[in-house]
Amino acid sequence: MDAVVARRPESTGGKQVTGRESTQFKPGQSGNPGGRPKGSRNKLSEEFFRDLCDVWETFGKPALMTMAWTDPVAYVRVVASLMPRELETTITPVTERMSDAQLEAIIARGIEDGLDPAATD
């Protein structure tokens, strides 16, 4: 049997082409050195919200009521999309605003009603 010898391809002697050489811009070179004009990104959203406000002033609550009755799933989806993903509160808990005397009075009332202050549940 003849032995199979793996052969490496012949070297072309030239530089390997990776595709980057054929691009228009070299690394670190921008096709738009001046950058995006200020405010251009917000222009569409500003116009959209202006139009949305006009429609809201015309149809507003009746449109929401119609949507809630005719397509409640879509209505809930819209409401959920407007809710923040994480709710942040700045309200101080009631117990932090109460004096020690007020807290002691609440604990005393709880004990009088049969609550065990040492209970964990």
Spatial contact of 25 and 31, defined as CB atoms under 8 Å apart: yes
pLDDT at 84 over 60: yes
- Please state the pTM of the whole predicted model: 0.34
Residue 3 has what pLDDT? 57
Question: What does the DSSP 8-state code read for residue 21?
Answer: G
The stretch 58-69 carries a mean pLDDT of: 92
Residue 65 has what pLDDT? 93
In Å, what is the CA distance from 92 to each residue of 63, 66, 119? 37, 38, 25
Residue 115 has what pLDDT? 79
Residue 70 has what pLDDT? 95
The stretch 44-53 carries a mean pLDDT of: 85
